[in-house]
Amino acid sequence: MDRRTFAAALVVGSMLVAVLYSRPARAGASGGGSATSNAHGAHGEPGARARQSPAGEPRDEKLWQRALAIHRKAIVIDTHNDVTTPMTNDDYDLAGPPPVPYRTSLERMKQGGLSAEFFSLYVRPWYVTHGGAARRTLDMIDSVYRAVERHPNDLILATSAADIRRAKKQKKIAALLGIEGGHAIENSLATLREFYRLGVRYMTLTWNNTNDWADAARGERKHHGLSPFGEEVVREMNRLGMLVDVSHVSDETMSDAIDVSKAPVIASHSSARALSNVPRNIPDDLLRRIAKNGGVVQVNFYSVFVDTATVTPQNDARNRRLKGQQDALDEKYRDDPERLAEEGDKLDAANPLPPLPLSKLIDHIDYIVKVAGIDHVGLGPDFDGAMDFPEGAQDVSMYPNITYELLKRGYSEQDIRKILGENFLRVFAEAERVSRSLSKSISGDGSVKRIR
């Protein structure tokens, strides 16, 4: 999750830190609609919300129909969606219209032809300083279980690559769990194992905050990468078959994780630093290392990560304009990080930035293909964790636009299907294979090492 009010995450921090980190670019929310009960009902048909050409130019109808045909057959995987936060905080039912300013619903998932959704278990750093990080993670896991049990005709809880393929055959959406921020395990490998038992299949080693065993891209340089305990976390994740996610981490941490991991790593929601120079994006040398490791980079759609040169000045101007309102929210909700973040998101929705052209996002896919190869790129948009996205890629219903734009750039059907989901499935299956080669139990062979 990258659109966070950092004041909510670090309520006890200084106002200067809050200003520096709390105001990523803003965008308005799209409207909601009621969900259909049939996974392929009229309102749930892929492309239903994506028919208008993003830039307003005439659409090649023949190419569009070809894109829709490819999209319907493909397995489409989103590796990072933060709708889990309103699901947890407000008991948001995915069958209803998304509460402003959020954008994800069952109807929109169907319209986007989505096959699998990783629900992000984002635990704000506030819970590190105030306690309860693991409990908050459990609450979020439960919200996903609630959604699956409420909508058994639409969702299936998935914990493997085979489960995703089975969901596709059954015309359902696979619901998966990914932890965002290693502080959620509270420095306990036993807790990591329990999260695996509950279905968690990736963990982002850090969020923006450096934790007790790994440095973050936007955090303090405390360990110069992974500490010895951090290396043990990676080894334990390999043994369990939990994907090691290197989004959010510092370059040194990313390099260390690739060195230690016996399985391919993922970057669940990161883009190319060469095209948008922010610490959260990945430099060329590490793109190449991820490719050599066999991993995959899931491209983040957040506008700052797509084109910071254009968006950051706009964002800075808006921050200055809205500072008084944000300061009032910071004071009013200083002891309630969840409500503070929600109210900040609403402020964003009321003050959108101009969306980037969709071509800027596709440029990141092209670039990663050029540097890392066609087998090492996928999609991890960060919907409902960020507020600003390119035109035509602003919520889960709009995935067919990605397929269409890739066709326009000359990608083959096989390569498009790799980008939409097959690359991630290959990595997931390989992590499972590595796990089987390392261990036949969850706890029995588990490490009992602790931070010293």
Q: What is the pLDDT of residues 387-400, one digit of tens each?
A: 999 999 999 999 99
How many structural domains are present in the chain?
1
Give the gyration radius of the chain's Cα atoms: 20
Of 195, 8, 117, whose CA–CA distance to 395 is shortest? 117
pLDDT in tens, 23-59: 333 333 333 333 233 333 334 678 776 655 666 678 9
The whole-angstrom separation of Cα 360 and Cα 354 is 13
Say if residue 89 is exposed, middle or buried (CB neighbours under 10 Å; 0-12, 13-18, 19+).
middle
Task: Report if residue 155 sits inside a domain.
Answer: yes
Q: Could you tell me if residue 120 is inside a domain? A: yes
Residue 348 pLDDT class (50, 70, 90 cuts) = confident
Does 165 reside within a domain? yes
The answer to whether 349 and 341 have CB atoms below 8 angstroms apart is no
Six-digit token pair at 268? Answer: 């669940």
Q: Where are the alpha helices (DSSP H) in 151-293?
A: 161-169, 189-197, 228-240, 251-260, 284-293
Which whole number is the average pLDDT over 134-146? 98
pLDDT of residue 96: 95
What's the pLDDT score for residue 190?
Answer: 98
Tokens of 371: 């540097």
Q: CA dist 264 to 107, 230, 251, 314, Å?
A: 33, 17, 17, 37
Reported pTM: 0.90
Amino acid found at 353: L
Residue 445: inside a domain? no
C-alpha–C-alpha distance, residues 419 and 381, integer Å: 13
Q: Within a domain: residue 448? A: no
- Give the CATH number, domain containing residue 361: 3.20.20.140
Instruction: Identify the pLDDT of residue 419.
Output: 99
* 1 in any annotated domain: no
Cα–Cα distance, 164 to 379 (Å, whole number): 16
Contact (Cβ atoms closer than 8 angstroms) between residue 30 and residue 103: yes
Exposed, middle or buried: residue 255 (CB in 10 Å: 0-12, 13-18, 19+)? middle
Can you tell me the distance from the alpha carbon of 93 to that of 119, in angstroms, rounded to the nearest whole number? 14
Q: Report which DSSP code applies to 76.
A: -
- The stretch 83-89 carries a mean pLDDT of 98
Joined together, the tokens standing for residue 313 give 């000045």
Q: In angstroms, what CA-CA distances link 330 with 69, 86, 101, 342?
A: 48, 19, 19, 12
Q: Report the pLDDT value the prediction gives residue 45, as an integer from 0 to 100.
A: 74
φ/ψ of 241, rounded to 5, equals 95, 25
Residue 444 belongs to a domain? no
Q: Is the pLDDT of residue 70 over 60?
A: yes
Residue 222, exposed/middle/buried by CB under 10 A (0-12, 13-18, 19+)?
A: middle
Q: What pLDDT is stored for residue 452 in this prediction?
A: 74
- Provide the residue range defining the domain that includes 323: 6-438
Q: Is residue 452 domain-resident?
A: no
pLDDT digits (tens, 9 = 90+) for 251-298: 999 999 999 999 999 999 999 999 999 999 999 999 999 999 999 999
